[in-house]
Amino acid sequence: MSREKDFVFNNSDKRILDNGNITGKSPSNIALVKYWGKSEPQIPKNASISFTLSNCFTITTLEYSKKGTLSKRQNINVIFEGEEKEEFKPKIEKFIERITNYVPFISDYDLVIRTENSFPHSSGIASSASGMSALAFCIMGIEKKLDPSIDQDYFLNKASFLSRLGSGSAARSIEGPIVVWGKHPKIENSSDLYGTIFPFKIHPVFENFQDTILLVDQGEKQISSTVGHNLMLGHPYAKSRFKQANQNLERLTEVLQSGDIKEFIQIVESEALALHAMMMTSDPYFILMKPNTLKIINKIWDFRKKTDLNICFTLDAGANVHVLFPKGEKGEAETFIRNELVSYCQNNKYICDNLGEGVENVI
Ligand code: DP6
């Protein structure tokens, strides 16, 4: 298992590349056991596990050019969907500052970051996981050019390590289809520093699992994840919540192998509600669900009771609902979603997604 110092690049020969660019495509992910609460530097308070998605992704091209010898300052430009975005710069600059210790070569270049998402802007889908992991992947592309001897495992672990420093959940987007992030006694090689692929054989019922994302509210979130995480410090239920999450991960580890989908549903839905319960009991308290989020949840429960199909929900830090179901139930699930759930979405919008494999190089 790698430690922090293993990720420091040795720049002793001071090689600087000519200008160039690297393009990476990285997906979003949806947590089954949630990460909510962290300490510096982006160390999770409990282990989490997620499905890597496929159709919700960010494509980023990183253009690097040797910094002029006279100018000390590094120029960083961020172009989002063709438009220069000043407002995205502080987050990226902070990220670059945080990772410079591990990729010191980055300060040799001026950077232009061109990025676009497959999902609509302000759809309420968090772009930080796909966005930060795509950028981290591109930066590792520069490292690989400087040191072609690094192997694939190191490349991926370090890409996840850098992603984490941009946004915690981004650490889980580099690989797929199921990733654990955070040290857990039952998952060998798991680490607080980077994500690792779920190391056991997954039961066929979970292969190619489906996630239909119902876009209930496409507006700006009133509380960012970072603020929410910080409210877990001193939260009255924090200690039991972190314990519960680690226990749920242990249960889920069994379930993902045995194929006990009924138990899967219990764990996943309970995790989603526990996450939102933490928000509702923070000081200050807040609610990210909307009335239609609850209507959808109730519809799913009614439908499950009536049909005994294995359709369940999870939530991230917002009002949108992720409807999860096995590939084998796709026909019935999609009919139900179209007929009974889509009317609760803003402008009837939803995205059909499924499990994926993580980052890819785009040539
Ligand atoms: C509710 O990864 O967005 O989606 O580390 O501050 O960038 P930062 O937070 P972020 O938090 C994700 C929270 C979550 C649960 C999860 O993905 O595990």
CATH number, domain with residue 241: 3.30.70.890
Are 163 and 289 in the same domain?
no
Residue bearing the CA closest to ligand 1, atom 8: 167
Q: Which two tokens stand for residue 206?
A: 């979970």
185 & 249 share domain: no
pLDDT of residue 219: 72
Last residue of a domain, one of 201, 222, 242: 201
Last residue of a domain, one of 151, 173, 201: 201
Q: How far is the CA of 38 from the centre of ligand 1 (A)?
A: 10
Residues with Cβ within 8 Å of 216's Cβ and at least 6 positions away in sequence, in order, are 124, 290, 292, 293, 296, 319, 320, 321, 344, 345, 346
The average pLDDT across 332-347 equals 97
Residue 169 lies in a domain: yes
List the CATH number of the domain containing 126: 3.30.230.10
Range of the domain at 218: 209-354
Residue 361 lies inside a defined structural domain of this protein: no
User: Which residue carries 């239920």 as its tokens?
Assistant: 237
What is the tens place of the pLDDT at every residue in 175-215? 999 999 999 999 999 999 999 999 999 999 999 999 999 99
Q: What is the band of 17 on the pLDDT scale with cuts at 50, 70, 90?
A: confident
How close is the Cα of 259 to the center of ligand 1, in Å?
A: 27
Atom of ligand 1 nearest to the CA of 35: 18
User: Do 68 and 122 share a domain, yes or no?
Assistant: yes
Task: Say if ligand 1 is within 6 A of residue 31 CB.
Answer: yes
Tell me what pLDDT residue 16 has: 85
Asked if residue 2 has pLDDT above 90, the reply is no
Q: Is 126 in the pocket of ligand 1 (CB under 6 A)?
A: yes
85-94, 131-140, 254-263, 333-342: which has the minimum mean pLDDT? 85-94
181 lines ligand 1 (CB under 6 A): no
The pLDDT score that the predictor gives to residue 70 is 62
Predicted TM-score (pTM) of this structure:
0.96
Report the 10 Å Cβ neighbour count for 359.
28
- 236 & 327 share domain: yes
Say if 253 falls within a structural domain: yes
Mean pLDDT of 208-232: 89
Question: Could you read off the pLDDT of 254-304 as tens digits, one per residue?
Answer: 999 999 999 999 999 999 999 999 999 999 999 999 999 999 999 999 999
Angle of helix 152-166 relative to helix 128-146, nearest 10 degrees? 140
For the packed helices 238-258 and 261-280, what is the interaxial angle rounded to 10 degrees? 160
Residue with CA nearest ligand 1 atom 5: 168
If asked whether residues 25 and 160 sit together in one domain, one would say yes
The CB of 34 under 6 Å from ligand 1? The reply is: yes
Number of structural domains (the chain) is 2
Q: Are residues 196 and 213 in the same domain?
A: no
User: Rounded to the nearest 10 degrees, how much is the dihedral formed by the CA atoms of 48, 56, 288, 44?
Assistant: 20
Rounded-to-integer distance, Cα 341 and Cα 334, Å: 10
- 71, pLDDT greater than 70: no
Predicted confidence at residue 155, as pLDDT, reads 97
pLDDT range class, residue 69, cuts 50, 70, 90: low
Regarding whether 26 and 64 lie in a shared domain, the answer is yes
Give distance in angstroms: CA of 34 to centre of ligand 1. 8
Q: 61 and 197: one domain? A: yes
